Each structure stands twice: as structure tokens, then as C-alpha cells.
A and B are shown apart, each in its own frame.
Chain A
Amino acid sequence: MDITQIVMYIVLFLSLYFEVFLLITFFERSESKECGTTTDDDSLPTVAVIVPCFNEASTVAGTLRSLLALSYPTHKLEIIAVNDGSTDGTKEVLETFAGHQQIQILDKENGGKHTAMNAALAYTKADIIGCLDADSFVETDALIQIIRHFEDSGVAAVTPSIKVYKAQGLIQALQKAEYGLAIFVRNVFARMDSLFITPGPFSFFRRSVINEVGPWQHGHSTEDLEMCLRLQRLHKRVTNEPRAIVYTKTPKTLPELFKQRLRWTYGFLRNAIDYQKLFMNPQYGTLGMLVLPMSLFSLFGAIFLFSALIWNVLVFFAREFIRFQTVGITAPTIQFDIFFINTSSILTITIALVVLTLVLMALGKRLARDAYISLDMPIYLVLYGFITPLWLTAALYKAIANTGVRWR
């Protein structure tokens, strides 16, 4: 067995182990009880939803309308739209909502998402602070589903389930499946008290906790990741409500997707350095001993698997080229014989891993009240492995060189 094979077995073993671990966690505890949908309960906390906007003229109106449609007592829900120095007419769109009782509009110079969040934080007195990116839309019961978790005084933050808004084309189909898997993963991470991202679309925080841990920071252009890691470092509980559904607009083209994922991965790597104390630290339980190390490892594992795949493809084409040079174009001998079916352990384990991934995706879809199976799942399995290493490699380089990344 050569070194490549040994590394391949290690990557496969750890990936499979992680998926098995997630599945056990999912089945060991049943889902939390169904919540009520009372909207006039005086005991409900006051909530502020911050909508940071930078050049979101085309989508922000829809975002605000979906917030206005939320099933939550109007006198307890405040919507703060922050125009972060937009140059595309976002300000004008926001002004059309100026007369609305629930909506407050703040206007400031461009300073980044974290500064928009902090400007709104300074403005509001609400008990619970949330965020909704200006390209996202919520289902009417999403907020009430989330707020019930704050009845538990130990809960510091709650994350939702995020779905792709009107997926069209191959790139968005890929993301639809990926987001489905993320719904499962996020939910299971929450069950293990191991969430390390409070995503921009519709994550909520207890005000008193924000006061304690401090406001949003730049966090290497991933303020949602940094905030969650900060909460985890101080042993604050972050949970998930899979029935709180948020739809978000996702990149339509590969370059747009590349840019977004480069930022996410770069942010993860740089924050991993900043919060290295959490890694392999039993004080942080499964988060420290498994989830964070595996998230980091999966990055290198994906690059390795992709390199191995590319190498094998190159070897195949080189061989075929030599054959062509030697004997020209030849008719392939097509002959089915069960003898030649590949039964190697690596292939069998890879198939097991793929099947398990499909199961996790199906469970994620079920958690978010979708059909178990959809066409985007095989597309994801076939194509995702080929494109992920593009931004993983670029992010790794940028993180090592500490170059920083741009939002757009």
C-alpha cells in the first residue's frame, strides 16, 4: 500500500466516522416539541430585526415585506433597516418604507456589515436582536418558532433553516442540495452544542449576551462566524430551530459562487487561527474535539481527494494519448464480465460515504418540511466535489498569506 492509498483510507475513515457520528446524534434524541404560534402573548420578548443593506435595491423591499408579514405582535417587533452607504438606490427604496410604524431606517457611511449591525444595536432597546440579510425572505411563522427557544434562559442564540430562494440553473441547484445538507448538519451540531456559525439570514441573539460578549466585529469578513465562535468560547449556548424557514438569494454563476465561498472559507481559516484555543480542547466538548477539527480537516481532505481525482484523470488521458500515438484510434472492446467489476475497498467505502451523504441530505430536507428526494441531490454529488477545491485552495493560500478578502 503506497502513501496515497494510506492517506485516502485516513480521509475516508474520518469522513465516514464523522457522518456516522452525526447520524447517531440525530437519532439518539427525538426532535423538540412542536411550539405554539400565539402572536398576542404579552410574555413574548421584544425583538429587533436588523437588515443591513449595501447595494440591495433589487431585493430589500421584498425582505422588508416578508418581515412585516411575520406572525408576531407588532408592538413587540421592530425592524431596523441600515443603509450602509449604498450607491445603487437602496436608500430610495428604504425611504418608501419610512412611514411604516414598525420600520426604522438608519443611514450611515459604508463601513461593513458588522458596523451596520452595531449601529442598529446601539439604536434599539429590544430583548432579542436578530439579523436578516437584505437578500433573504422569511416564512411567516419563522420568528415565533425561533423566539420560543429563548424561554430557556440558558439559550444565547438561535439559528434557522436556510433554503435557496427560487433555485434556477445548475449552480443554484447545487446550492439547493448543499443548503439541504446544511439544515441537517446545523441541527445536529446544535444538538451537540457545537454550532460555530450564526448565519446572517435570521439568526437571533439575547441582548444581555451581546452586552456581555461585545458587539459584532469584522471577523475577517465573516462576522457571523466570529460572533458564534466568541459565544462558544464563553460557553454560551447556541441552538437551532429547523422549522424556522428563511429563503436566501444565492449566487447564480460560478464566479459569484467562487467569490462568496472564498470569503466564507477564508473567514473560517482566519477565525480558526484566532480561536485556535477551542480546537482539540476537551473543555469545549464535541465542538472542540470533533466538530471544529473535522471542519478544518474536511477542507484538506477535499483538496486531497480532488488532487487524487485530477491525478487519476490525467494518468488516464496520458495513457490514452500514448495509446493513440502508438496505434491510432482503436475500437474499444466492449465485453461485460462480472469478473472485471471493481470491488476494491476504497470504492466500496466511497459508495457507503455517498449513500450516507444522501441520507443526511434527505433528513435535512425532511427537517425543513421538504420532500426527501429531489433532483438537485445527484447533481450535488456529481459536481460539488469538482468545484469546491477551487475556492478551498484559493482560500487556503489567501489565509496563509493573510491577504484579506472582499465582500463583493
Chain B
Amino acid sequence: MRAMPWTKYLLAFLITAFIFATASIANNFFNTKRIAEIRSIEESISIDILSLETQFDLLQEQSCKNISEDSVLSRELDTLARKLSYAEAQLGADNEEVLRLKRHYSLLEIKDLLLMQKVSEKCALEPIFLLYFYSNEKGTCTDCKRQGYVLTELSKEYPQLRIYSFDYNLDLSAVETLISLHDVSSDLPALVINDSLYTGFQSMEEIQKIIPELTKAATSTSEVQ
């Protein structure tokens, strides 16, 4: 019978457990920082939208020279979307904090959409609105990934295209209202382009066909350049 060095077994266990705990605490710390950063971006966008609304109200009877398509915060919303998507992958789609931030993000998108529609009407701007309804739930939308790739490429190619993405299953009454307003069914992906509903996967070419203004705008831009 050989001696068992139990103290060493325990010590090795404690050191290993310490390394595991440190890795877990560090991960939690960085995730908390990420959530805080997303929250801070959301607050900042929220303030900017409010500011723009106020600016718009103030200029009701004035000219539109101070308001352009670019003044709405598409780039910030895009950054926010990417960070939120990363946090969702890290913390899980069911994480309460992620869901809360996602709801807030969706609300900001809707606010931005409504404001931009008002601005366009008043100032005779012609942005193209695209609403994208998707689902992350397993098996409910096999083509959503592909649709996402198409829309990412489109947004890169046509900056004037304003894409708003909504999780179909998000528990938020404003999104539900948007869904019922546009008669979006659970057959996903679904796109609403300038108030018309398109169900199922739409390729780059199909979307370009639906929105001929896109290619025209791109051609005119390249001609200017």
C-alpha cells in the first residue's frame, strides 16, 4: 500500500478551481462591461433621436437645409446592432439583459424609422426603407442567415438604403404592432420594402429589381465620382 498525498490532491484542486473561477469572473466582468457599453450607446442614440425630433419640431415651418438623410443615426444603429449580436452570441439569446437591450434597440429602430419618414415627407428626401423580420429560434427560419448576408452586403453597397431588423419573436408590443400593421406572418424571412411585404428569401438581384432606385442611385454616385 502506497501513501496517498491527499494534501497535494486538495492543493492542486484548489489552484485549478481558482484558475477556473478567475476565468469565469474575468468573463463576467468583460460581459458586464459589454452590456454597459451597449446600454451607453443606446442611451446616446436615444438622446440623439430625441434631439433630432426636437430639432425637427423647431424647424417645422422652416427650411429643411439643416436636416439631411445623414443626420439620422444609421451608423450608430449599425454599430449597436453588431455589438448586440455579439453579446447575444456570448451570453445567449435568452439572457434577460440581452433581451432588454434588444427590446430597447428595436424601439430605437422604430423611432428612427418614424422620424425619418416624417423628415422625408417634410423635406422631400427619398430614402429607401427596408424592414426585415427574422427569427433566431432553431428551425423557424432556415433562410434567415442567408437573408442576413444579403442585407449586410446591400447596406455596404447602398448606404442610402435604411435597413431595420426586427426579431419576429421579440416580446415587445411595438414590434408586434409593426408586424400586424404589415401583415407579416410567421413564414420568415419577411421583408417590407416601401410598405410592400415580401415573404421568403430574397436575393440581391431580386431586391435590386424591387428597388430600381438603388442601382440608379449607385450609378449616379459613381458617375459623380
- Chain A residues packing against B (C-beta within 8 Å): 13, 16-17, 20-21, 24-25, 28, 192-193, 235, 282-287, 289-290, 319, 322-323, 326-327, 330, 333, 339-341, 343-345, 348-349, 352
Asked whether A345 and B34 contact (CB < 8 A) given A17-B13, A20-B15, A322-B145, the answer is no
Provide the residues of chain B in CB contact with A25, threshold 8 Å: 8
In the complex, whether B224 has a CB less than 8 A from a CB of chain A is no
* Among candidates A286, A319, A330, A348, residue contacting B4 with C-beta atoms closer than 8 Å: A286
B36 to chain A, nearest CB (A): 11
Q: List 14 contacting pairs A-B, 8 Å CB cutoff, sorted by A.
A: A13-B16, A16-B19, A17-B16, A20-B12, A24-B11, A193-B2, A235-B2, A285-B4, A287-B2, A289-B4, A327-B204, A339-B34, A345-B27, A348-B22
Provide the residues of chain A in CB contact with B156, threshold 8 Å: 330, 333
A348→B2 contact, CB < 8 A: no
A327→B150 contact, CB < 8 A: yes
Provide the residues of chain A in CB contact with B1, threshold 8 Å: 282-283
For chains A and B in complex, what number of residue pairs have CB atoms within 8 angstroms?
A: 81
Bound together, the chains give a CA A296 to CA B20 distance in angstroms of 23
* Among candidates B11, B23, B83, B204, residue contacting A349 with C-beta atoms closer than 8 Å: B23
* Among candidates B12, B23, B90, B149, residue contacting A21 with C-beta atoms closer than 8 Å: B12
Asked whether A20 and B30 contact (CB < 8 A) given A326-B146, A345-B23, A352-B23, the answer is no
A286→B5 contact, CB < 8 A: yes
B2→A283 contact, CB < 8 A: yes
Bound together, the chains give a CA A21 to CA B11 distance in angstroms of 8
Bound together, the chains give a CA A192 to CA B150 distance in angstroms of 60
Provide the residues of chain B in CB contact with A282, threshold 8 Å: 1, 4
B149→A323 contact, CB < 8 A: yes
B83→A339 contact, CB < 8 A: yes
In the complex, whether B37 has a CB less than 8 A from a CB of chain A is yes
In the complex, whether B195 has a CB less than 8 A from a CB of chain A is no
A344→B146 contact, CB < 8 A: no
B15, closest chain A residue (CB): A20
B2→A285 contact, CB < 8 A: yes
Bound together, the chains give a CA A353 to CA B29 distance in angstroms of 21
Provide the residues of chain B in CB contact with A289, threshold 8 Å: 4
Q: Besides A17-B16, A20-B19, A339-B34, 6 other CB < 8 A contacts? A: A17-B12, A319-B145, A326-B146, A327-B152, A344-B90, A345-B24
A347 to chain B, nearest CB (A): 8
In the complex, whether B153 has a CB less than 8 A from a CB of chain A is yes
Give the contacts of B27-70 with A (CB-CB under 8 A): 27, 30-31, 34, 37
B1 to chain A, nearest CB (A): 5
Asked whether A28 and B86 contact (CB < 8 A) given A283-B2, A348-B27, the answer is no
In the complex, whether B203 has a CB less than 8 A from a CB of chain A is yes
B150→A326 contact, CB < 8 A: yes
B20→A13 contact, CB < 8 A: yes
B153→A330 contact, CB < 8 A: yes
A24→B20 contact, CB < 8 A: no
B8→A28 contact, CB < 8 A: yes
In the complex, whether B217 has a CB less than 8 A from a CB of chain A is no
Bound together, the chains give a CA A17 to CA B17 distance in angstroms of 9
A322→B26 contact, CB < 8 A: no
A237 to chain B, nearest CB (A): 10
Give the contacts of B118-151 with A (CB-CB under 8 A): 145-146, 149-150
Bound together, the chains give a CA A319 to CA B149 distance in angstroms of 10
B86→A345 contact, CB < 8 A: no
* Among candidates A24, A284, A343, residue contacting B27 with C-beta atoms closer than 8 Å: A343
A341, closest chain B residue (CB): B30
Bound together, the chains give a CA A290 to CA B12 distance in angstroms of 12
B149→A348 contact, CB < 8 A: no
Bound together, the chains give a CA A343 to CA B37 distance in angstroms of 16
B184 to chain A, nearest CB (A): 22
In the complex, whether B181 has a CB less than 8 A from a CB of chain A is no
Bound together, the chains give a CA A28 to CA B152 distance in angstroms of 58
Give the contacts of B76-126 with A (CB-CB under 8 A): 83, 86, 90
B8→A24 contact, CB < 8 A: yes
Residue of B22, B27, B204 with most partner-chain A CB within 10 A? B27
Provide the residues of chain A in CB contact with B149, threshold 8 Å: 322-323, 326-327
A319, closest chain B residue (CB): B145
Provide the residues of chain B in CB contact with A343, threshold 8 Å: 26-27, 30-31
Asked whether A285 and B24 contact (CB < 8 A) given A24-B8, A25-B8, the answer is no
Provide the residues of chain B in CB contact with A322, threshold 8 Å: 145-146, 149
* Among candidates A24, A285, A319, A344, residue contacting B3 with C-beta atoms closer than 8 Å: A285
B29, closest chain A residue (CB): A343
B2 to chain A, nearest CB (A): 3
A333, closest chain B residue (CB): B156
Residue of B24, B26, B30, B37 with most partner-chain A CB within 10 A? B30
B9→A21 contact, CB < 8 A: yes
B201, closest chain A residue (CB): A326
